[in-house]
Structure 1
Amino acid sequence: MTMQAAIRRMGNSAGILLPKPVLAHLQVQAGDMLDLDLENGRVVLSALKPHPRAGWAEAAKELAEAGDDGAAWPYFANTDDATLEW
């Protein structure tokens, strides 16, 4: 996929607008983060993969605020953990 894009002034910096087909190919949208590398005189953009646990803290807080953070399987309690032998 070969395309052209003009460099545009953006405040004290400069940038390019990524065409819609490029965004679709990278499976990203406005606001997502990209990894930027320089390789042999080329700029290489890659979609950043989110951390596997991204958003967990916020989700846990929402569950706690809703009062829905009890044990999902209360019969698998940790009361006997101290006596476990491996």
Structure 2
Amino acid sequence: MKVKIRKMGNSQGVLIPKPILSQLGLEGEVEMEVVDDALVIRKPQKQARVGWADASRTLAQAGDDALVMGEFGNADDAGLVW
């Protein structure tokens, strides 16, 4: 598909047809980079562990943060001095 580069304010841009946006699931914000001689636009990569701290606090406040496996030690723990 060929599209025209259009003037948009002080910049230039390309309008991406809605069916392509829908097909790729793109909305809001995207990541953009040049790879070789191609412009690549993709969904932002989710950062690892985003939201884990908030979820942990919520569990702790609800009292739902008990150990699943219980306490258990290692074979040589008895000889350790803390």
Q: Normalized against structure 2, the TM-score is what?
A: 0.56
Aligned length: 75
RMSD over aligned Cα atoms = 3.1
Match of 1:73 in 2: 69
Residue 26 of structure 2 contacts residue 43 of structure 2 at CA under 8 Å; is this kept in 1? yes
Deviation at 1:66, TM superposition (A): 1.5
Distance of 1:82 and 1:17 partners within structure 2: 64
Gaps of 5+ in 2: 78-82
Deviation at 1:36, TM superposition (A): 0.8
Match of 2:80 in 1: none
Gaps of 5+ in 1: none
User: Identity rate of aligned residues, in percent?
Assistant: 29
Q: Normalized against structure 1, the TM-score is what?
A: 0.54
Greater gyration radius: 2
